[in-house]
Structure 1
């Protein structure tokens, strides 16, 4: 009968920082080369301590030392592969570098747009007949041409500078172009918030870079904390265009590390295990961002035009008069939007305004107005109070102006002459009261009024980079003059 040997069990406790984490045994992010995660067990002494303890137990219970075999560790063979440390850096730095490369362009575009508004050039152009949509389209074309140069240069550098060696160059160009469009719309959105060019430029660059923070949060959670971020969460974060751009740039880098590159067959796939987001979704979110920024720009500019311009009510998209293209018949507005109250028509208001003023003037012994001339401008109790200092600039001004008459305003500084002209041309909104020009209310139908309106303000509204000849041609074209007539006026 064999002798009975005692049984025993051992337990080795070790610092957790010296052992492989269980959630890193199989990484979602593929890297070329063997998995070296198991090296913790022999590099930090676990295998050696275990071997020494087992030899000591054998020596104690068996009675002789165990010398052979020795402890030998070798990694499992792995086929040849190319290790490019530059690609490992690009995976993390490419999104940040790409975003930073656009900061200057964003700041300068915002500054130029707001400077035009700050110097009242935009409102003067609108007075001369420029459509607001045409104004924004012109800025879009200007910004797109400028950024297209950067997009083309970046595409050449990334592809033929061997940064994105394996990716399709057209996909690189398309991705950067879509981002350029979203960036232009982002500049539009920031520009309608500010009224000072230098402040807008500084804050615009900061806001642009801060919108990259959600991407940094997503990247840290995925790569450091190994949390799973769903495609829906990434889409929400991608409502910031720089975040969507960062995610898309990361997929370029990941596919380059894999030696495949972004191709049309991989644009809707992810190289990360368990990831349901991809470059195609990133590009789609950039297009959605551009649309959202455009809608917000349109709404905010209408409700809050800044220092100059007539603000619309917050519910103006629900007014039928806005979409019908006429503000003359306010009873057409939806009843739940403040337009349900019964009002006189514009012509009836003009007639009532004229009759009231005639009666008041007859009572004061003022010269009777001409009855044979058509009424052009009817000002009714126009009042303007400036918020700064609560200064009363106009106090219930009432006045009728007729066709074929020359009218001049005389008064000391601060009498309200410029304020009256500014209100009649749509530069400032009235505090109370109103006026009609050819039957169109200045509060609701200024775009139609400006089709037959001209003004030469007392401040400089000239473009710094246009000559006298170019100014004459530009404003003449806004008024619809023929090219031949413009040439004659310019020569004169």
Structure 2
């Protein structure tokens, strides 16, 4: 029974596989969690320790003696701050006047009492006044300077004592109406709020009275005092001071680990095998993106909880939604950027080293540049980690100075708003680049796409698929494939192959397929004129291949390296697309139905492609889910497959604990998932012991009962034992096809006779005359240490020679002897003798 592998099935398969594999990667998981946690915990401990020291240094009950307002103001020394008022006169009230820094003044403000200070190399009389257009203008000017103080670099700053708005001034009626705005934040004020307010009010009152009395020198002197208080030093926000570097480090250290996971699956061919087993590439990218992002979400959530509990300013002040957006968009852009960087690496070690180095350099670069620049170059925003580091360091600076911006302040003119925008753009750009570069960059396994592949994809998307007739309906080929009349497929004329040079059996196979002279219900695979031409190569890698495989048949698919064998298998399994021609697997066309075909094929690669830290059961479960097996029977199906390959008893054993033979059987089990109709076996017993190989041969014979098998191997003995038919390709073409016996008779040189002389008679007896008496054309092909090997032509009467040797063994002092037909290896060597890749 075939199952439909929809997107939700594949998402489940990848999520559980990734989660289980990550859980077993204790070192990797530890790094992902431990480093960010350690950085944050160190920062929190420093914060709490410093706060405790400040608390311990707090004084006893304070004194309540009075302070002279003017004296208090004068003693507060800030040489970069000038004492002055902002004055606002929205109603253009007359006689308000001014008071400048040189002692000059008119009107009401001209009566302000001043004192002289030495500032910036000259004498200055303070407080003086500055007229401002509106209250909003004053607020903007003050806030701009406070934000500048929040940056690492700042220019000259001038904070006012207060802002005074005159609402009404009527000396005739002894009336003055004004609003006073004073600084509440201690770090920006000359004195505390109450002191500043009373001082300003005292100055205005004195000036107003003198104005009414025509400048008779009245002085209103005010003193204030407080009730007893407990002194507490101003807080030192170490978390905000160091957070600009700590938080980018903590939240960026997962980037190289995301790179590692992607490169690992490429390096170990795990992704390639998953694709051949039915995984859709878009589902791979989507699920990997989601899983990596969720991993980041867990880490950032724990960090947020710790920092909120420790009352770190960045997390408890300002806009929670703005901070959420910054962290959320950084997570998205970081995963996309990790995808992008991973396309340039083929080995995990190089990817990891570069990833960690890149993170450290970028975070430190941001910290360094922030010391000297209040603005940053445009490239900052194109590197997500720089943009994020800039955003975090800016927020830490503002929040540490009590200026965490509310959400209403996030306009386009505010840099943090632009950072959020660019992180979103980076996510889209780098994700698109990652998918594109993954297809076009040179790779270790497979052939990259053309840089303009998307143009061809668009053309095919809008082309009329109806120009081809596709075979459907069920698992078999239910309609004879009379797609190719007059020996032409997709415009490729098969007369390119000279019929006079084509082997008769190959021609017969081609004619049978073209004319539909077969029983469709018996066929699992029909290959029709398959051709592959790689760009930049003079000869096609595969030329007009016609081939059929019946249900329950094992086809030994042989050929020297570079002969086209791997190319054709790669096309049939979906790794490559054909230049022309097509093939039908279980009734499905490889040109249009590859997603469905992946559900009915199984692949055993030359070397075991397995996740070492998964168990046998978890491994098969992954591929079972990948192929769409219903959730209700996925465990039952998994156990049945493991039982079929004799691994059920070790289903809970980790792959890394299995022997070589067990790992190979597990690879067979993977190929059997989803009730595969056809299995491709690539060198299935390479590197195994003789006992293990024979055990696996038995497994293969069991597998073919319900499905077809295509076997590629360099072991002629293995091909001879397991195959029902043999097909040999050379120079990109099918050279011969048939049973082993047929090929040996057709291409063999006759028979081989081996005779070993007893040790005591090796120097006196030579069996050559004996052999030639039965076959005058026999030739001695090999002799060594009393052992003789002869080649006999096909017309030799072997039965007579056999009988004579049995009867006269003692007379000729024969130790042992053997007769055999020409081997499959001899046929293979003869067929491939003219192949340039061999010679």
Trace 1:284-299 onto structure 2 (pairs within 5 A): 284-299=421-436
- The answer to which structure, 1 or 2, has the higher relative contact order (CA under 8 A, 6+ apart) is 1
Distance 1:220 1:283 in 2: 22
Bigger mean CA deviation after superposition, 314-323 or 459-468: 314-323
- SS of 2:149's partner is coil
Distance 1:376 1:36 in 2: 79
* Residues 162, 94 of structure 1: alpha-carbon distance in 2 compared, 3 angstrom cutoff: same
Per-residue deviation, 1:353: 5.9
Distance 1:396 1:287 in 2: 45
In structure 1, which of residues 443, 446, 461 is the aligned counterpart of residue 609 of structure 2?
461
Distance 2:490 2:252 in 1: 56
Distance 1:204 1:327 in 2: 46
CA RMSD of aligned residues (A): 4.4
Q: Does 1:252 align with 2:381?
A: no
1:214 and 1:237 in contact (8 A); partners too = no
- Residue in structure 2 matched with residue 377 of structure 1 by the alignment: 527
2:249 and 2:363 in contact (8 A); partners too = no
* Residues 366, 323 of structure 1: alpha-carbon distance in 2 compared, 3 angstrom cutoff: closer
- SS of 2:558's partner is coil
1:377 and 1:402 in contact (8 A); partners too = yes
Per-residue deviation, 1:294: 0.9
2:277 and 2:598 in contact (8 A); partners too = yes
Trace 1:142-153 onto structure 2 (pairs within 5 A): 142-153=291-302
Distance 1:239 1:257 in 2: 27
Per-residue Cα deviation, 1:144-203 (whole angstroms, up to 9, x for no partner) = 221112211222233332331423445433322221111111111111221212111212
- Residue in structure 1 matched with residue 505 of structure 2 by the alignment: 366
Whichever structure has more strand as a proportion of its residues is 2
Bigger mean CA deviation after superposition, 369-378 or 459-468: 369-378
- SS of 1:279's partner is helix
Distance 1:36 1:188 in 2: 41
- SS of 1:306's partner is coil
Distance 1:203 1:219 in 2: 24
Distance 1:410 1:31 in 2: 73
Per-residue deviation, 1:418: 4.3
- Residue in structure 1 matched with residue 406 of structure 2 by the alignment: 263
Bigger mean CA deviation after superposition, 478-487 or 358-367: 358-367
Question: Whose Rg is larger?
Answer: 2
1:119 and 1:461 in contact (8 A); partners too = yes
- Residue in structure 2 matched with residue 79 of structure 1 by the alignment: 191
User: Taking structure 2 as the reference length, what is the TM-score of the superposition?
Assistant: 0.41
The alignment covers a number of residue pairs equal to 394
In structure 1, which of residues 405, 408, 414 is the aligned counterpart of residue 556 of structure 2?
408
2:528 and 2:545 in contact (8 A); partners too = yes
Runs of 5+ in structure 2 lacking a partner?
Answer: 1-119, 123-144, 158-187, 194-232, 468-482, 641-839
* Residues 190, 112 of structure 1: alpha-carbon distance in 2 compared, 3 angstrom cutoff: same
Distance 1:408 1:361 in 2: 26
In structure 1, which of residues 29, 32, 40 is the aligned counterpart of residue 148 of structure 2?
29
- SS of 2:345's partner is coil
* Residues 28, 491 of structure 1: alpha-carbon distance in 2 compared, 3 angstrom cutoff: closer
Per-residue deviation, 1:458: 1.9
In structure 2, which of residues 255, 258, 280 is the aligned counterpart of residue 109 of structure 1?
258
Per-residue Cα deviation, 1:439-469 (whole angstroms, up to 9, x for no partner) = 9677x98667645543221211222233322
- SS of 1:462's partner is coil
Per-residue deviation, 1:237: 2.0
Trace 1:389-408 onto structure 2 (pairs within 5 A): 396=542, 398-402=544-548, 404=550, 406=553, 407-408=555-556
- SS of 1:281's partner is helix
* Residues 186, 460 of structure 1: alpha-carbon distance in 2 compared, 3 angstrom cutoff: same
- Residue in structure 1 matched with residue 701 of structure 2 by the alignment: none
1:382 and 1:434 in contact (8 A); partners too = yes
User: Taking structure 1 as the reference length, what is the TM-score of the superposition?
Assistant: 0.66
Distance 2:431 2:386 in 1: 18
Distance 1:254 1:462 in 2: 49
Q: Does 1:307 align with 2:450?
A: no
- Residue in structure 2 matched with residue 201 of structure 1 by the alignment: 352
Per-residue deviation, 1:143: 0.9
- Residue in structure 1 matched with residue 629 of structure 2 by the alignment: 481
Q: Does 1:127 align with 2:279?
A: no
Runs of 5+ in structure 1 lacking a partner?
Answer: 1-17, 21-25, 39-75, 224-228, 270-275, 331-345
Distance 2:463 2:623 in 1: 25
* Residues 445, 237 of structure 1: alpha-carbon distance in 2 compared, 3 angstrom cutoff: farther
Whichever structure has more helix as a proportion of its residues is 1
